[in-house]
Amino acid sequence: MRHEIIVLVTTPNSDEANQIANALVSTQLAACANIVPLIESIYRWEGEVKRDNEALMIIKTTDDRYPELERRVKELHSYGTPEIVALRIERGSSDYLEWLRHSTTNREPSKV
């Protein structure tokens, strides 16, 4: 059974987020990607606490598309260890979830 998921990915800037989002949606690895252009991230890296401005991608896809989506993000991402976190969608509008499923396959949705 296919499950709908949200994948969170941070990038160093909106330009990189747009490049990755376009690649994922155009190849149907994702139905949609929202980009939050400016977030502040505080994290530990190589033994130090870091603080950076980043862009956040909120990507909607299905769990069966996730492995290829992760591979593609890693190919396009400038970070050596990009944040790629998937969360299962527990509930949502049935029409929207149907559109999401159809948008990640080669079939057109029956309704939007």
Q: What is the pLDDT of residues 84-109, one digit of tens each?
A: 999 999 999 999 999 999 999 965 54
Residue 15 has pLDDT above 90, yes or no: yes
Asked, for residue 110, whether it belongs to a domain, the answer is: no
Asked, for residue 108, whether it belongs to a domain, the answer is: no
- Read off the amino acid at residue 103: S
CATH assignment of the domain containing 29: 3.30.70.120
Return the pLDDT at 18. Answer: 98
Instruction: State the total domains in the chain.
Output: 1
Residue 8 has pLDDT above 50, yes or no: yes
Distance CA 77, CA 96 (A): 28
Return the pLDDT at 112. Answer: 45
DSSP strand pairing (48-62 vs 4-11)? antiparallel
**Structural Rg of the chain based on CA atoms:** 15
Q: Domain containing 45: what range?
A: 4-103
